[in-house]
Structure 1
Amino acid sequence: MQRLFFLLAAVIFAQPALAAGDLSRQDPIEVTVELGSEDGEMIFQPEQLTFETGKLYKMVLVNNSPNKHYFSSDKFTQSVFTRKVQTYTPDGEETAEIKGHIREVEVFAGHTAEWWFVPVQTGTFEDLKCTVDGHEEAGMVGTIIIE
């Protein structure tokens, strides 16, 4: 009888296990990254990016330079859940929305892309680079940290 009482009490007072938060309802944290510079300098600005697991980010990749550039980091792309990438013309017209696993993002001269993602694995990734021929060698490299 005592065993039945404890079993019944456990069922009555048990609370469902709930997640700490609804990740689908977060407001994104916006981070802007400039790809290159107007005078043609090969840089990521900032060259070091820091993100936190479990938070939704909207990384705005802005290319005001006269060259196309890539935002490429294999280790970073394997450590985030991508919700979507959107691309825009210089006048702000949306040109594409991409979903699924993203390996790298190419941003044309004068264009912008938004990468919406949630980091899911921590690490320091020193493989951020622009994969256009000669850009990495010219200094277009960076580091991404996920805490």
Structure 2
Amino acid sequence: MKKILLTIILTAATIVISGCGHHHATYVRDAADRVKAADWSKMETTTVTMTDFAFNPATIVFRQGVPYKLVIENKGTQKHYFTAEGFFRAVATRKLQSNTDGEVKTPYFTAIEVYPGRSLDLYFIPVTTGSYHLICTIEGHVDLGMKGEIRIE
């Protein structure tokens, strides 16, 4: 469990550091204000399950402006990545939470790694409408079918 949280923290730190320059401009600038103003008691929950080798559902649809908890669960036999850089730039992120290890509060992500038999919860508000690629970036996983689409309408 500590390894999961450490991976999340290191990923978040990398994004925050790299986000200090040019990349920061591509993320939602007023994310903190949007997160603070949202009524989280009305959030909707969506679950995506990663298996060997698919995302289920392969297409995930969110409504702009609605607070969400996205449960990302790995029911596969190996670790998988939920990588959707365009999507992460199109949302105001509140936090990423492990129900056993704690949480990470950072406005910027590029990928979320989930170990077999584990799940993580991403809290966010969709801001920018569009269609975004979802892949697992482990070598060979996309070729085996581990890809999908996220839409914000």
Common fold: TM-score over 0.5: yes
Q: Distance in 2 between matches of 1:141 and 1:106?
A: 15
Q: TM-score, normalised by structure 1?
A: 0.75
Give the direction of change, closer, same or farther, for the CA distance of 1:146–1:140 in structure 2 (3 Å limit).
same
Identify the residue that residue 82 of structure 1 maps to in structure 2: 93
Residue by residue over 1:76-133, the C-alpha shift from the partner in whole angstroms, topping out at 9 and shown as x without a partner, is 0010011000124xxxxx21311111211100011110000001100011x2100111
Kindly provide the amino acid, as one letter, of the partner of residue 31 in structure 1: T
Instruction: State whether residues 65 and 109 of structure 1, in contact with CA within 8 Å, keep that contact through their aligned partners in structure 2.
Output: yes
Deviation of 1:25 after TM superposition, in Å, equals 4.2
Q: Distance in 2 between matches of 1:74 and 1:50?
A: 16
Identify the residue that residue 46 of structure 1 maps to in structure 2: 57
Residue segments in structure 1 that go unaligned for 5+ positions in a row: 1-21, 89-93
Q: TM-score, normalised by structure 2?
A: 0.72
Q: What is the Cα-based RMSD across aligned positions, in Å?
A: 1.2
Residue by residue over 1:39-74, the C-alpha shift from the partner in whole angstroms, topping out at 9 and shown as x without a partner, is xx3000000000011100000011111110010011
Q: What is the percentage of aligned positions where both structures have the same residue?
A: 35
Identify the residue that residue 8 of structure 1 maps to in structure 2: none
Q: Distance in 1 between matches of 2:81 and 2:98?
A: 13
Identify the residue that residue 126 of structure 2 maps to in structure 1: 119
Q: Distance in 1 between matches of 2:47 and 2:78?
A: 18
- The structure whose Rg is larger is 1
Q: Distance in 2 between matches of 1:112 and 1:27?
A: 22
